[in-house]
Chains A and B, each alone.
Chain A
Amino acid sequence: MRVALFVTCVNDTLFPDTGRAVVRLLRRLGVEADFPRAQTCCGQMHANTGYRDEAVRLARRGVAALRGYDAVVVPSGSCAAMIREQYPKLAGSRGPFADAVARVVPRTYELTEFLVDVLGVTDVGAYFPHRVTYHPTCHSLRGIHLGDRPLTLLRQVKGLELVPLADAEECCGFGGTFAIKNADVSAAMCADKVRAVLDTGAEVLCAADNSCLMHIGGMLGRQKSGVRVMHLAEILCSTETAGVR
């Protein structure tokens, strides 16, 4: 099986640990993922802010870079949702672009989907002796319907104590440019999320999306809360002998 890693621009540029964790985790499970160099950004920021033409250009580049693989693994519910939900709309129903999208879309998996549905593993052999809470993120939850796959994986991690997050399904207020355009509402939403996280007493907040984690983590950091944010992949990659880095 030829597997491509679509690492996403945010991970590539700001959170390379997540990409490294995915590579190591997959390798541990016997999958050698390729990193198609031509990939950059899925175009979600442009699409969702109303820059349709730019989004189409980036989507074209995206599918071209990911062509020819049996599976594309994306460590982001949000970018996976972009490819699966919005690419078909941007591509229309006919033509080479639409064909390329139609080939890539059914092969695109968010990381936990790939682990649970394609590889059929729920115990990835991880060890992470910490108190962790999980934020499902909107696009993971309602965009690609990840369901309890992430929780199933987390429950198998040795040493990990999973604590429930109140109002977990509520948006953290990131929403890409929403956090900038409606900064006050976004901050109010984030503050409520932060309060819920602190109420759990968890040491680590985890999610399948670094953009939401950056948003919530930014406020956790500003409040000197001591709670760390970590992408799910980094927890799943940790073992007794090796941490993330």
Chain B
Amino acid sequence: MSVTFLGMPADRPFPRNAARAVRDSQLRFNLRKATRTIRARRASVVAEAPDWAELREAGRAIKEHTLRNLDRYLVQLEEAVTAAGGHVHWAAGAAEANRIVAGLVKATGETEVVKVKSMATQEIGLNEALLEQGITAYETDLAELIVQLGDDRPSHIVVPAIHRNRAEIREIFAEHMSGWGRPAPEDLTDEPAALAEAARLHLRERFLKTKVAISGANFAIAETGTMVVLESEGNGRMCLTLPRTLISVVGIEKVLPSWRDLEVFLQLLPRSSTGERMNPYTSTWTGAAEGQEFHLVLLDNGRTRVLADEVGRQALRCIRCSACLNVCPVYERTGGHAYGSVYPGPIGAILTPQLRGMGSELDRSLPYASSLCGACYEVCPVAIDIPSVLVDLRSRARHPWPERAGMAAAGWVFERHGRLARLQRAGGRLRRLVPRRLPGPLGGWTDTRDLPEVPRESFREWWDRTDGGRR
């Protein structure tokens, strides 16, 4: 199996990353504030839609149908894009996609590209790959810009700089903007308007100079070969219209059969994602537009393998709204970096180990990065049953031996009620000997909590002694 690269180093398991994040009180404060705000906004705009349950079901069904007929719709998409004057390239993995894009940029003779925020290009580590070829990629989404200037990694799907507060952003702008282009004004404050203005001026210069743009797409319409990008800031529209060459890297699961299907997703996505009824900018383009050259790179990178899995394939329905991140109590306390992948939070916990395989300790630990509270499933606009996929993935990888031994012992006891009864009797007699601190991995629990007192008599014994309380 080829190794699928997901744009993040993957060395330490999730619990160790998480332990570090949990101790970072600034991070926790920033995350808590941001996720709670956006969560409340989502809840209120979703409550406004009386047909939300039907919309969600329609979204699920359209995606499901498309995935089941993906081969057909992809060929249709290719034909439509080509007919409209675009060029279609197929990439099986990250390396191939990067090679294709780098080749296309080089052919233009340019060494700088502007980027519309895109998960697919992050997934394949495109910016880093281009840099190796002497090409600099400039992110133009405000949050991506903050991440790039800060030499940081995105921590959220929609709000990559969610882990940063205003003061930190001001510092990053003041210190690093000048190294990348137009510097921040001397008197930059941490007022949101001042920060936005600094970014606007910095980016404006870039848009007017750059001849090549790279984007992803939220949806690709098979019927007409149309790409659709939803965004909030307008930077995307600048990238999509100003440069002479436009290259879009799009995961094969992004295809939708027809324009009609968009109706559903244009309602589901903005509400779930930013808590808005509609996103400020929706750009669509079909093939090559006036004087522009258009290339579409269709990316597999593990997706067909996921599609083959009966339980896990539903993860490909994901429209990257990040509602599951914003509501996840684990994500709220760890942030995105702990997941070691560009896909953090609940969706990352099921998508990353499927795309990348469970070869590393990190990838084996991701399906456990959840208390199975079910909040993610409840908010997911395409009804991905994340808890079920987590449980299914947990049963795949080999477990550590002490745990296997413990589970086997527990299973053996529960196999016969007589065994359980004997153990309970022994426990009742030895109850004073239970230590305050449990050994080994169980110690994590007793470090902050008291164990319950073991009762003198189990329910079972009480029932026998009193004939169910009748004596």
Query: In this assembly, does B179 line the interface, its C-beta being within 8 Å of a C-beta of chain A?
Result: no
B455 (CB) vs chain A CBs: closest residue: A16
B95-103, B256-264, B374-382 - the one binding chain A: B374-382
Taking CB atoms and an 8 Å cut-off, the chain A residues in 1-54 that contact chain B are 7, 9, 11-20, 23-24, 27, 33, 35, 37-41, 43, 45-52, 54
Known contacts A9-B414, A173-B329, A178-B372; A50 and B391 CB within 8 A of each other: yes
Which among B378, B396, B407 has the highest number of chain A CB atoms within 10 Å? B407
Q: When A and B form their complex, what is the total count of cross-chain residue pairs whose Cβ atoms lie within 8 Å?
A: 196
**Would you give the shortest CB distance from A117 to chain B, in whole angstroms?**
22
B469 touches A16 (CB 8 A): no
Query: In this assembly, does B424 line the interface, its C-beta being within 8 Å of a C-beta of chain A?
Result: yes
B391 touches A48 (CB 8 A): yes
Q: Give the CA-CA distance A37 to B386 in the complex, in Å.
A: 35
Residues of A within 8 A of B52 (CB): none
B398 (CB) vs chain A CBs: closest residue: A50
A222 touches B449 (CB 8 A): yes
Q: Give the CA-CA distance A7 to B455 in the complex, in Å.
A: 15
B440 (CB) vs chain A CBs: closest residue: A180
Query: In this assembly, does B72 line the interface, its C-beta being within 8 Å of a C-beta of chain A?
Result: no
A38 touches B417 (CB 8 A): yes
A180 touches B441 (CB 8 A): yes
Number of residues of chain B lying within 8 A (CB) of chain A = 64
**Would you give the shortest CB distance from B140 to chain A, in whole angstroms?**
34
Taking CB atoms and an 8 Å cut-off, the chain A residues in 38-72 that contact chain B are 38-41, 43, 45-52, 54, 57-58, 61
Known contacts A37-B417, A181-B368; A187 and B448 CB within 8 A of each other: yes
- Tell me which of B15, B23, B411, B416 contacts A51 (CB under 8 A): B411
**Would you give the shortest CB distance from A216 to chain B, in whole angstroms?**
9
Known contacts A46-B410, A178-B372, A181-B368; A7 and B459 CB within 8 A of each other: yes
Query: In this assembly, does A142 line the interface, its C-beta being within 8 Å of a C-beta of chain B?
Result: yes
B374 touches A138 (CB 8 A): yes
B333 touches A188 (CB 8 A): yes
B226-234, B245-253, B460-468 - the one binding chain A: B460-468
- Interface 0/1 of B4-33, CB less than 8 Å to A: 000000000011001100110000100000
Residues of B within 8 A of A183 (CB): 15, 444-445, 447
A139 touches B374 (CB 8 A): yes
**Would you give the shortest CB distance from A119 to chain B, in whole angstroms?**
19
Q: Give the CA-CA distance A41 to B424 in the complex, in Å.
A: 13
B365 (CB) vs chain A CBs: closest residue: A181
Known contacts A180-B444, A188-B22; A50 and B414 CB within 8 A of each other: no
Known contacts A48-B394, A52-B395, A184-B22; A179 and B445 CB within 8 A of each other: yes
Q: Give the CA-CA distance A14 to B29 in the complex, in Å.
A: 37
A190 touches B333 (CB 8 A): no
**Would you give the shortest CB distance from B56 to chain A, in whole angstroms?**
15
A182 touches B369 (CB 8 A): yes
A8 (CB) vs chain B CBs: closest residue: B459
Query: In this assembly, does B135 line the interface, its C-beta being within 8 Å of a C-beta of chain A?
Result: no
B19 (CB) vs chain A CBs: closest residue: A184
A47 touches B18 (CB 8 A): no
Chain A, interface size category, equals 35 or more
Taking CB atoms and an 8 Å cut-off, the chain B residues in 322-344 that contact chain A are 329-330, 333-334
A224 (CB) vs chain B CBs: closest residue: B450
Query: In this assembly, does A218 line the interface, its C-beta being within 8 Å of a C-beta of chain B?
Result: yes
Residues of B within 8 A of A40 (CB): 413-417, 420
B411 (CB) vs chain A CBs: closest residue: A54
Query: In this assembly, does B371 line the interface, its C-beta being within 8 Å of a C-beta of chain A?
Result: yes
Query: In this assembly, does A240 line the interface, its C-beta being within 8 Å of a C-beta of chain B?
Result: no
Query: In this assembly, does A150 line the interface, its C-beta being within 8 Å of a C-beta of chain B?
Result: no
Query: In this assembly, does A215 line the interface, its C-beta being within 8 Å of a C-beta of chain B?
Result: yes
B407 touches A46 (CB 8 A): yes
Known contacts A12-B424, A50-B396, A184-B18; A142 and B373 CB within 8 A of each other: yes
Residues of B within 8 A of A189 (CB): 329-330, 333, 371
**Would you give the shortest CB distance from B143 to chain A, in whole angstroms?**
24
Query: In this assembly, does A219 line the interface, its C-beta being within 8 Å of a C-beta of chain B?
Result: yes
Residues of B within 8 A of A35 (CB): 460, 463, 468
A187 touches B458 (CB 8 A): no
Taking CB atoms and an 8 Å cut-off, the chain B residues in 413-443 that contact chain A are 413-417, 420, 424, 427, 441-442
- Interface 0/1 of A199-242, CB less than 8 Å to B: 00000000000000011011101100000000000000000000
Query: In this assembly, does B151 line the interface, its C-beta being within 8 Å of a C-beta of chain A?
Result: no
Query: In this assembly, does B89 line the interface, its C-beta being within 8 Å of a C-beta of chain A?
Result: no
B447 touches A187 (CB 8 A): yes
Which among B18, B19, B365, B371 has the highest number of chain A CB atoms within 10 Å? B371
A181 touches B374 (CB 8 A): no
Residues of A within 8 A of B449 (CB): 187, 190, 215, 218-219, 221-222
Residues of B within 8 A of A180 (CB): 441-442, 444-445
Residues of B within 8 A of A37 (CB): 417, 460
Query: In this assembly, does B194 line the interface, its C-beta being within 8 Å of a C-beta of chain A?
Result: no
Query: In this assembly, does A168 line the interface, its C-beta being within 8 Å of a C-beta of chain B?
Result: no
Residues of B within 8 A of A163 (CB): none
Interface residues of A (CB under 8 A from B): 7, 9, 11-20, 23-24, 27, 33, 35, 37-41, 43, 45-52, 54, 57-58, 61, 86, 89, 138-139, 141-143, 169-171, 173-191, 214-215, 217-219, 221-222
| Interchain Cβ contacts under 8 Å between A and B, 10 examples | A13-B459, A38-B417, A40-B416, A41-B420, A46-B411, A51-B395, A177-B368, A182-B369, A183-B15, A184-B18
Which 10 A/B pairs are nearest by Cβ-Cβ distance?
A: A183-B444, A175-B371, A218-B449, A50-B394, A171-B373, A19-B459, A142-B374, A16-B459, A138-B373, A221-B450
